[in-house]
Amino acid sequence: MIAGLFPAAFITLRLIFFSMANGIKVNKWADLDPESKKLIKKAEEALQHAYAPYSKFRVATAILLDNDLIVTGTNQENAAYPDGMCAERVALFTKASQYPDRYIKKLVVVAKAENARELSPASCCGSCRQVMLEFEHRQSKPYEVIMQSQKGEWVTAPAAELLLPFGFSKRNLGG
């Protein structure tokens, strides 16, 4: 009954409870660890390499590997919209082709709208979350995902799987 009277508030409360129960945290910049801050700065530096002439919305990802190497990727748009590629997948596929034996420790996503002074809130799309889940399964080890919220805070998920709770995997294929 309460959910029917206040649907938006009820959904928000459910999301907050889900997040807290699964270890997803919301942090101020000052509360992030130095490693996460460095990774966010590397992603921010990579924004200049994004190709976003259509959306005017640049996105960059920085991935910290287990040997402390950082791999970056940026969104690459195309006039035929479905043929572009999100920053997360560019970075993940680069990691797979150049460092196939390394493990991912953390993945950061940042974005900036054209002419904006500050970073813009950004959340991984469903396709990227699916690919992130596959990479987590491939390495049989979770990795932290960090992105900026609508309020300018930093959302930290201890595992990519938490961002796609009903993801598709080889188990769905009988494997």
Tokens (6 digits) for 172: 């769905």
Q: Which two tokens stand for residue 93?
A: 């596929």
Indicate the SS3 state at residue 85.
strand
Bridge partners, 148 (sequence order)? 154
**C-alpha span between 156 and 29 (Å, rounded):** 12
Closest CA to 143 of 97, 98, 91: 91
- Give the three-state DSSP class for 19: helix
Strand intervals (E) in the chain: 25-27, 57-65, 70-74, 104-113, 144-148, 154-157
Centre a 10 Å sphere on the Cβ of residue 27 and count the other Cβ atoms it contains: 15
CA distance linking residue 85 with residue 138, whole number of Å: 21
Catalytic residue among 35, 77, 88, 114: 88
134 is catalytic: no
Q: Which residues are catalytic?
A: 88
